[in-house]
Structure 1
């Protein structure tokens, strides 16, 4: 069997984004340090998988409409056993969840964090 280990996303401030994801999802920082050229990267997630948060340093290109750009990142999905509790943490952190959906095989909602990355939160319980 093959499984997804990580996804790498460019953000403005990897440390700040990692702290938010730890707060919202109970994750931990697995590694952080210098990355390619002038960049910095923080790996945040669980023991089995993570999101690599990367910043090149200096000026960044403007965000794109990912749903209309080939190879664009449309969203990152996380699974939780406590959809309501996770949503309350997200609201308390100042985000606005939306697009609530309840269909097989689970219930879900979405929110967009400050880098413009859409995150889907899904529960299969």
Structure 2
């Protein structure tokens, strides 16, 4: 079996708010939450097999020169959905703006940025 991506961990301004919209948009659930490194807090949201770790350092001054201090330190995260149009309606209802719509082989996609400036690609394969 090839390796599988289990989770991605990135720093956000408000793990609870990010987890809430992810649960609403993607249908994920809160897997775990608790104290984290440097006095921070983390929430794990996703499925039983895969999740996103949403970290906030609490007092960012306790960390020096690490990616954990940088909110939105990645290019984008892509999520596959069964119904692209319904997901886009939910994304818009959360107050986000969608763009860069494209039909391509083998599916369709759009992008949006969350409140921390993190870019998400949403894909539906045909």
Q: TM-score, normalised by structure 1?
A: 0.89
1:7-60 deviations in whole A, cap 9, x for unaligned? 001001111110110011110000000001211000000111000000001247
Task: Specify the alignment match of 2:21 in structure 1.
Answer: 20
Q: CA deviation at 1:106?
A: 1.4
Task: Specify the alignment match of 1:115 in structure 2.
Answer: 116
SS in 2 for 1:37: helix
Distance 1:13 1:83, change over 3 A: same
Measured in 2, the distance between the counterparts of 1:75 and 1:83 equals 17
Measured in 1, the distance between the counterparts of 2:121 and 2:41 equals 25
Task: Specify the alignment match of 1:45 in structure 2.
Answer: 46
How many correspondences in the alignment? 118
Q: TM-score, normalised by structure 2?
A: 0.88
Higher helix share: 2
Task: Specify the alignment match of 1:67 in structure 2.
Answer: none
Task: Specify the alignment match of 1:2 in structure 2.
Answer: 3
**Structure 2 unaligned spans of 5+:** 62-68
RMSD: 1.5
